Chain A
Amino acid sequence: MTDLSGPDTQRSPRILIVDDEVANVTALQSTLSRHGYETEGFVDPAEALASIERGVFDLLLADLMMPGMGGVELMREALARDPDLVGVIMTGEGTIATAVDAMKTGALDYILKPLKLSVVLPVLSRALTVRKLRIENAELAQSVRERTAELEVARAEAKFRLAMDAARMGEVAVDLRSEQVVHTPAFAKLLGYPADRRLSLAEIRECWHPDDRTRIIQERDVAIASGAGLFETEYRIVWPDGTTKWLTGRGQIIRDASGGAIEANVIYMDITERKWVEEKQNLLLAELNHRVKNTLATVQSIALLSRLDTPTPELFSERFEARLGALAGAHDLLTLASWEGASLADAVSRTLAPYVRAGKGAKRIAIGGPIVQLSPNAAVTLHMAFHELATNAAKYGALSTPEGRLDVRWSIDRTSAPVTVEFVWTERGGPIVIPPRRRGLGLKLVEQGLERELDGTATLRFEPEGLVCLLRLPASAKVAPL
């Protein structure tokens, strides 16, 4: 605080002298003028106060005892007008107590009358120093206040930027008359450019996805033409590297007093991931819808075909419900593997489980073969075909007598092209087989159905000692041996 240079030191110190005796005022003015002070003198305290309001004084030198308004009151009034003003009270001997009181009201010092120059000058000089310190202090305080406010603004700005960056938001302002663009580094990144790249309006428009261009322009024109308020937009852009991204923008049109659009301020965010999830969800819903409809069509087929090969309504219900149960079983099997498929062994075991559980069955049913993975549709169809074969066996074949045996085995023929799954269903020990006169749904499904759907061959041999079903299924996406 040693540097006291400032605007105040560039000019002479200004001192206001108030004393009810004109001679005192005149004497002080001439003496102090000679010592570099610029002075103004009054005998009337009210006039002195008016003068403080007009101009800036550094010091107030006031007589304590004056008629009307005393020095103490003057000092208080003067400080109310200029808090940095430094006051000095002049008083005669014997009234020091009053002078002390005066100092309590804000005067810096007092001088005893009669005045001696050797006393007055050092007191005034010291008062002047205090005045300078006060002014400097006030300036510093103001500067600190301003700097603090600046820092707060900067901190708020930094926080805002951090939030924008964290949310991967980019901000852009377009002057609608000059088409000049100001944008944040994050905005350049949203468009696939390095953060330090400054983009022109033409370059930004270049990013618009060709299919969304017309809509973007329409929406922009509507926003500019319509009233105030926020507008929202969602569209695709193409990065310089060719990737397509989705952006969502929320913005505002700034208008002049007559309502003309001056500037567009928009904050953008990348929503590619959200769009991707939405799209995936829609695909899943479409797929679910497809599967449900296909399943309904399958149920419809089972109903129609069951009606055709059953003579009585009672028998229809029984067969239809059994087939519906088999279809449900096939779906359970698929649900276990998230509808990605099932193994041939599972499809066979699940169909035959009721007969194995029935007791003695475990000994007479043998199932075995290498791992073959089935697609969901193939698993359903094979499951249904096995259900028909098992029902047939339980009614007329090997599973209808305690002595009957059922052998279900498969192997993989790797010498053929393509590799083929050879599946053999052999019934033995049941009643003597009489070939059926006509094929019901069950046998049709095994023969025609499997041949068509799995592109293989199916042969049913009604041998007297038991039914044999031979399937040759070429390896494919539907039937995949490991």
Chain B
Amino acid sequence: MSGVDPSLFGLRVFAVEDEALIALMLEVMLEELGCKVVGVAGTVPRALAQVETMGSDIGAAILDVNIGGEKVYPVADALAVRGVPFLFCTGYAATGIIEPYRDRIVLDKPYSKTALANALAPLAGKHPERHWHRSPDTGRTKR
């Protein structure tokens, strides 16, 4: 186990990944990094519904570009509107990302936990109002 990046601790992460096994691994990796997985969606409509519900309660999002033959961009749009930082992950070459998201971080599949942590770190400080996982024992609420 590599050390937990303190900047990622408690980060509320939402993931869109259509492949069940990879989604399960992503969850494990995020938990090991100290993040709080607030949702995993396997389809674009599900993802949109969850963004709608959670809104800016999401601290950062990881979006697989290809979701069951659909592109994830509508989800990116919904997150961008809410000011939620996000990154893409894909097995395709990074050139596949469309405007206006070409400058976003792209995580190449397969990725290691370290690569995931490095890709998430810039997002952790980016959110205008940073979201921490409510921690009952310290009584600290999101600030």
Contact = CB atoms under 8 A, between A and B. Distances in A.
A and B held together in a complex? yes
Interface of A: 286, 289-294, 296-302, 304-305, 308, 375, 377, 381, 384-385, 441, 444-445, 448-455, 476-478
Contact of B25 (A293, A304, A451, A453): A304
B46 A455 contact: yes
Interface in B5-50: 18-25, 28-29, 40-43, 45-46
A300 B24 contact: no
B21 A294 contact: no
Secondary structure at chain A's binding surface: helix, strand, loop or mixed?
helix
A443 to B, nearest CB: 11
A308 B1 CA distance: 12
A454 B20 CA distance: 9
Contact of B110 (A293, A452, A477): A293
Contact of A304 (B28, B40, B91): B28
Would you list the 10 A-B pairs with minimal beta carbon distance, nearest first? A449-B20, A452-B42, A293-B91, A301-B25, A297-B110, A301-B21, A290-B91, A453-B20, A453-B42, A297-B109
A475 to B, nearest CB: 13
A441 B22 CA distance: 12
A92 B108 CA distance: 117
B54 interface: no
Contacts of B69: 375, 477
B91 A294 contact: yes
Nearest to B40: A452
Nearest to A291: B91
Secondary structure at chain B's binding surface: helix, strand, loop or mixed?
mixed
Interface residues of B, number: 27
Nearest to A478: B68
A131 to B, nearest CB: 87
A384 B108 contact: no
A305 B25 contact: yes
Contacts of B91: 289-294, 297
Nearest to B26: A301
Nearest to A450: B20
A449 B24 contact: yes
B92 A286 contact: yes
Given A286-B93, A289-B93, A445 B21 contact: yes
Given A455-B43, A478-B68, A290 B19 contact: no
A396 to B, nearest CB: 21
Contacts of A308: 28
Indicate the member of B91, B93, B111 with the most A CB atoms within 10 Å: B91
Nearest to A448: B24
15 contacts: A289-B93, A290-B91, A290-B92, A294-B19, A294-B109, A297-B111, A301-B22, A302-B21, A304-B25, A305-B24, A377-B18, A448-B40, A453-B18, A477-B68, A478-B68
A326 to B, nearest CB: 11
A24 to B, nearest CB: 106
Contacts of A304: 25, 28-29
Contacts of A296: 109-110
Nearest to B95: A286
A448 B68 CA distance: 17
Nearest to B23: A452
A448 B20 contact: yes
A452 B21 CA distance: 10
B26 to A, nearest CB: 8
Nearest to B20: A449
Given A298-B19, A298-B21, A452-B18, 11 more contacts: A297-B91, A299-B110, A301-B22, A305-B24, A377-B19, A381-B19, A445-B24, A452-B23, A455-B42, A477-B68, A478-B68
